[in-house]
């Protein structure tokens, strides 16, 4: 059996105490009893809302090979007849297992952070690197204090490329995580006003993101957006952290991975990239200049890790944006078709402007219109009203003929829109569902964008329910 971990190795790595007859090994690791598969180890992590120990019985019923539990919780679990590894702290033990996983691996590691584009860049890296070797990457947005060690601990020993997304809301959160990953290449996609409510200004955000350089292995690389206004600050931070090889990507004339041409298309884009004095023609399977920009970072990482560039370029041609992150769906209206651009997962000023730019290039047919459905951008603190109102120019430039706004913070934009733009404002996302569903018509392009907590995915779901997606081959 090809175990992810043998029980003996787990006990050794975590310094745990075995209880019961442990299996020879485990097939995987889970922290959610609902999605746990038979033969996996269940780590009973205590989170902000739930304590995994409360779901130990469910994990056992779903076929857990063993449980990793806290010594303090053991008396309450005494009746469970299932093998266990008992530890002082379950989360810290998961981190120890992640450290052991990193230590045993011979893979090339890439870590990605930034205010926008982390998850999409991570997924592009996964797709671009797969033709060159076995890739292990973060699931969804597993980029925090439990997501990163969990991703490390889940990594098979024979992985050839490890891709990790690292996020933060406050200073000091990236530092311990990147020191677990110890990447060969550290990428910062862009510095923007995300989580600005927890920082004084963008410089502080840049400094917090720059913590990613502190974990880069000796001889490793920093890969930074050369078009970012804080390029010099980030470059200097990388050098101060001991990274001797710093590269830039972008359209800047001094970029090492440079985009010399960008042509938008209905279902993607065409770009020309210059790397090491050579030009590469690249077709992207997902549209948007912001996607193309981050594709430069991906190609940079391919080059710096020694992966196959030609195969990576071919793989990116079939890349598609994920649900909530720019995924485009053709909807079937009784009298024709429409395009839905789903950007409902997250939002900050930079990603909002990128999404509106995407709407601008979206094709409309016959009497179709460009419709923007925009919700609150969260965690902007005292800057919120100014940054929401400041989106007015981007909305106008997107040629949006109709705008729906939802959320308390979006009231600032509703008062600042140009007079010629027809708009509807509601305080609650739910109050927009029927309005949007009834307003759309054949030929329209509808873009929905908000922070995840606002709940604009409800509007996406309402549209999908009323107007079913057209099959790809239809």
What is the pLDDT confidence band of residue 455, given thresholds at 50, 70 and 90? confident
Instruction: Work out whether the CA dihedral 69, 73, 75, 79 comes out positive or negative.
Output: negative
Mean per-residue pLDDT over the chain, rounded: 93
Contact 109, 22 (CB under 8 A): no
Query: What was the pLDDT predicted at 71?
Result: 94
Query: What was the pLDDT predicted at 287?
Result: 86
Q: What is the pLDDT of residues 280-313, one digit of tens each?
A: 999 998 888 889 999 999 999 999 999 999 999 9
Neighbours of 411 (CB within 10 A): 18
What is the pLDDT confidence band of residue 79, given thresholds at 50, 70 and 90? confident
Query: What was the pLDDT predicted at 420?
Result: 84
Query: What was the pLDDT predicted at 285?
Result: 87
The 3-state secondary structure of the chain reads CCCCEEHHHHHHHHCCEEECCCCCEECCEECCCCCCCCCCEEECCECCCCEHHHHHHHHHHCCCCEEEEEHHHHHHHCCCCCCEEEECCHHHHHHHHHHHHHHHCCCEEEEEECCCCHHHHHHHHHHHHHHHCCEEECCCCCCCCCHHHHHHHCCCCCCCEEEEECCCCCCCCHHHHHHHHCCCEEEECCCCCCCHHHCCCHHHHHHHHHHHHHHCCCCCEEEEECCCCCHHHHHHHHHHCCCCEEEEEECCCCCCEEEEEEEEECCEEEEEEEECCEEEEEEECCCCHHHHHHHHHHHHHHHHHCCCHHHHHHHHCCCCCCCCCCEEEEEEECCEEEEEEEECCCCCHHHHHHHHHHHHHCCCCCCCCEEEEEECCCCCHHHHHHHHHCCHHHHHHCCCCEEEEECCCCHHHHCCCCCCCEEEEECCCHHHHHHHHHHCCCCCEEEEECCHHHCCHHHHHHHHHHCCECCCCC
Q: What is the pLDDT of residues 39-63, one digit of tens each?
A: 999 999 998 888 999 999 999 999 9
Contact 301, 256 (CB under 8 A): no
Contact 356, 394 (CB under 8 A): yes
Q: If we measure between CA atoms, which residue out of 252, 251, 309, 301 comes closest to residue 278? A: 309
Q: Is the pLDDT of residue 473 over 60?
A: no
Percent of the chain surpassing pLDDT 90:
77
Segment among 23-27, 130-134, 331-335 with least mean pLDDT: 331-335
Query: What was the pLDDT predicted at 266?
Result: 64
Contact 452, 344 (CB under 8 A): yes
Query: What was the pLDDT predicted at 452?
Result: 86
Q: What is the pLDDT of residues 156-172, one digit of tens each?
A: 999 999 999 999 988 99
Q: What is the pLDDT of residues 179-208, one digit of tens each?
A: 999 999 999 999 987 766 778 889 999 999
pLDDT, mean of residues 232-249: 97
User: What is the chain's Cα-based Rg?
Assistant: 24
Backbone torsions φ then ψ of 60, nearest 5 degrees: -65, -45
Q: If we measure between CA atoms, which residue out of 98, 125, 95 comes closest to residue 112? A: 125
Contact 109, 180 (CB under 8 A): no
Burial class (CB in 10 A: 0-12, 13-18, 19+), 263: exposed
Contact 185, 162 (CB under 8 A): no
Query: What was the pLDDT predicted at 474?
Result: 39
Q: If we measure between CA atoms, which residue out of 185, 302, 307 comes closest to residue 246? A: 185
Segment among 344-353, 376-385, 443-452, 465-474 with least mean pLDDT: 465-474
């Amino acid at each position: 059996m090809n175990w992810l971990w043998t029980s003996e190795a787990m006990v050794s790595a975590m310094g745990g105490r075995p209880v019961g007859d442990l299996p020879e090994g485990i097939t995987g690791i889970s922290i959610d009893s609902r999605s746990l598969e038979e033969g996996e180890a269940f780590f009973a992590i205590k989170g902000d809302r739930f304590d995994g120990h409360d779901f130990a019985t469910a994990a056992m019923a779903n076929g857990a090979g063993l449980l990793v539990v806290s010594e303090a919780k053991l008396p309450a679990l005494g009746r469970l007849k299932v093998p266990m590894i008992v530890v002082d702290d379950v989360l810290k033990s998961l981190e120890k297992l992640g450290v052991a996983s990193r230590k045993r691996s011979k893979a090339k590691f890439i870590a990605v952070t930034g205010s926008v584009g982390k998850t999409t860049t991570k997924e592009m890296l996964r797709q671009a690197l797969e033709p060159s070797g076995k890739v292990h990457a973060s699931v969804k947005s597993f980029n925090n204090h439990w997501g990163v060690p969990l991703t490390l601990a889940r990594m098979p020993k024979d992985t050839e490329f490890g891709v990790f997304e690292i996020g933060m809301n406050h200073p000091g959160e990236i530092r311990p995580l990147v020191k677990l990953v110890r990447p060969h290449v550290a990428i910062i996609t862009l510095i923007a006003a995300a989580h600005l409510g927890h920082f004084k200004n963008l410089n502080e955000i840049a400094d917090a993101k720059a913590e990613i350089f502190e974990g880069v292995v000796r001889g490793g690389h920093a890969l930074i957006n050369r078009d970012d206004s804080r390029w010099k600050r980030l470059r200097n931070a990388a050098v101060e952290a001991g990274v001797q090889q710093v590269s830039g990507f972008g359209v800047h004339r001094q970029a090492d991975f440079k985009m010399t041409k960008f042509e938008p298309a209905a279902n993607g884009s065409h770009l020309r990239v210059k790397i090491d004095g050579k030009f590469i023609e690249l077709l992207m399977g997902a549209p948007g200049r912001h996607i193309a920009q981050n594709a430069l970072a991906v190609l940079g990482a391919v080059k710096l890790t020694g992966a196959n560039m030609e195969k990576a370029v071919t793989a990116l041609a079939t890349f598609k944006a994920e649900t909530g992150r720019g995924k485009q769906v053709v909807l079937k209206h009784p009298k024709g078709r429409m395009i839905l651009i789903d950007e409902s997962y997250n939002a900050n000023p930079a990603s909002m402007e990128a999404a509106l730019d995407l709407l601008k290039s979206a094709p409309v047919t016959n009497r179709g219109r460009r419709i923007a459905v925009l919700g609150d951008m969260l965690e902007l603190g005292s800057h919120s009203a100014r940054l929401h109102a400041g989106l007015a120019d981007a909305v106008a430039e997107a040629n949006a003929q109709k705008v729906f706004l939802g959320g308390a913070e979006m009231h600032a934009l509703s008062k600042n829109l140009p007079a010629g733009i027809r708009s509807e404002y509601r305080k609650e996302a739910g109050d927009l569902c029927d309005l949007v569903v009834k307003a759309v018509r054949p030929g329209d392009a509808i873009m929905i964008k908000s922070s995840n907590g606002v709940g604009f995915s409800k509007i996406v779901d309402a549209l999908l329910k009323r107007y079913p997606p057209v099959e790809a081959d239809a």
